[in-house]
Amino acid sequence: MNISREQLILYAVTDRAWLNGRTLYEQVEEALEGGTTLVQLREKNMSDADFVNEAIPIMELCHRYNVPLIINDRVNIASEIHADGVHIGQSDMDAAKAREILGPDSIIGVTAKTVEQAVKAQAEGADYLGSGAVFGTTTKSDAKPMDIDTLNAICDSVDIPVVAIGGINNDNVMKLSGSRIAGIAVVSGIFDNDDIKGAAHSLRAKVLNII
């Protein structure tokens, strides 16, 4: 496995919908200052060239904090910039193909909404799973809420760590007590805040009381 459970405690997923006059670089730096342990750069509508230009300085920033940078979906970009890894959804390239392209040392995360998807992803070489949406989400209109029993069934079905994702924020994160997750992946719960550092710091402290 190319990632530790400790690196999955607080997993920040970027979304430029909440820039509010700041740059993504500035927001990521605030999240890192708050104790974020993993960063995923997610850009759905950006050209490959623009994505590369954005990703390289953010990757260098993450590495100054000894935090890995994961690229969402785009295996080609992860390969081009030698990012630490990639996260792929069920409609994207399968984990085995991503592993073939990126090599044995890259971190590969896979979205898994069912036990079957989880088992398949592990068999294909995934290092961790992202499962949800545990509280629904504002970032994906088709995401259905996942109950704790399903989340725990996914955790129990694999040996690799699982992070919960979907609408998680400081107000609801403690509802995940009793789950067997390694950490949480958070979008607006971190980045849609005036005080990103404070939001991240508080989330990390709460997650450490759960896992």
Predicted model pTM: 0.96
Q: What is the pLDDT of residue 138?
A: 63
Q: What is the pLDDT of residue 145?
A: 85
Looking at residue 97, the DSSP 8-state letter turns out to be: H
Q: What is the pLDDT of residue 101?
A: 97
Looking at residue 129, the DSSP 8-state letter turns out to be: E
Q: Which domain holds residue 130?
A: 5-208
Say how many domains are in the chain.
1
Beta-carbon contacts of 12 under 8 Å, excluding residues fewer than 6 positions away, are 28, 31, 36, 38, 39, 40, 185, 186, 187, 190, 191, 200
Cis peptide before 83 (omega within 30 of 0): no
Q: What is the pLDDT of residue 140?
A: 60
- Closest by CA to 128, choosing from 166, 160, 90, is 160
Q: Specify the CATH number for the domain of residue 58.
A: 3.20.20.70
Q: What is the pLDDT of residue 139?
A: 60
Looking at residue 112, the DSSP 8-state letter turns out to be: -
| Backbone phi, psi, residue 150, to 5° | -65, -45
pLDDT along the chain (211 residues), means of 10: 95 94 97 98 94 98 98 97 97 94 98 97 97 80 81 98 97 96 97 97 97 93
How would you label 28-61 residue by residue, b for 16+ Cβ within 10 Å and e otherwise? bbbbbebbbbbbbbbbeebeeeebbebbeebbeb
Q: What is the pLDDT of residue 142?
A: 62
Q: Which two tokens stand for residue 113?
A: 């909404």
The CA distances from residue 189 to 71, 139, 160, 204, 209, in Å, are 20, 11, 25, 12, 18
Q: Which two tokens stand for residue 208?
A: 């450490």
Q: What is the pLDDT of residue 170?
A: 97
